[in-house]
Structure 1
Amino acid sequence: MKTSPVSAVTPSGARFLLTADALEMIQVFGGTLHCYRGAGGCRKQGLYFSRTRPKKALDCRLLPADPDSDQGSAAPGARERQEIAVSVSADLASALDGAVLDFGNYNGVQRFVWTTLPGVKGPSCTCLRSVGPPAGKRSPCLDDRRIGLTDL
């Protein structure tokens, strides 16, 4: 069953949207996703994702994307949201207000990507790196072999 998008709220009150596809892939990758800023990265913005939660991460609350919806704890997708943990680094949290996190085919590779990121200037391409040090546009992504992670 397809989940519906949810809003994530940082402790400082910044709110960003997680699309249904992003939620589904977070679940596939173990239910945990940490968003952070590091050295290098795609287009030198240093925006990364990790399945490993660092010690000083800020936990986000996950809420229905539509606050007026009547989704309660028995609503479809509610169980999946409870099993998902999303956290952000302190330096990235303020830039996430109004952002949209998606998962799909971008530049021929399946990846997590900020499709909207108002707090960061310029294009916002970034992916879930799998191994190796940051290497700008050559940073390795989970789908570097282009096998299609949603087909696994």
Structure 2
Amino acid sequence: MPIQIPDEYGYVLAVASSGFFVNMFHMQLTGMHRKKSGLKHPISYATEEQAAKDNNAFRFNCAQRAHANFIENQPTFLSLLAVSGLRYPVAAAALGATWMFGRVAYGMGYASSRGPQGRVFGFLVAMLAQMVLGGMAGYTSYKYIVG
């Protein structure tokens, strides 16, 4: 069976493209906390001792980790979004937008004064959306295999 791109697939593409802006948000968040911490490039993270003594260094580490976590999860998310969008473009786009929202909330929460505890809400939102997208992508793949 040939793969047909649904008319609504543009929504999927729009959500996928929004990842650029979410990545830029994480870059800005990390840069802001780097500046406050006084840590210069190429230092990737404050040491454990620096973070324990300086809240700005600790929050930089949190922002840096949130950004890294976004980058680590984005390829899997984009794959699930692209595949599930072939059969369910509007639902996939809505879940994708929810995932992006969750990733912004994750970054903001993690880099807040709450530190790692602040990431929980964003994690739950993004992970729930990603799990549903995973199920949809699996079902879409199955339907393409069996026809």
Higher strand share: 1
The verdict on a shared fold, with TM-score over 0.5 as the criterion, is no
Higher helix share: 2
**Bigger Rg over Cα:** 2
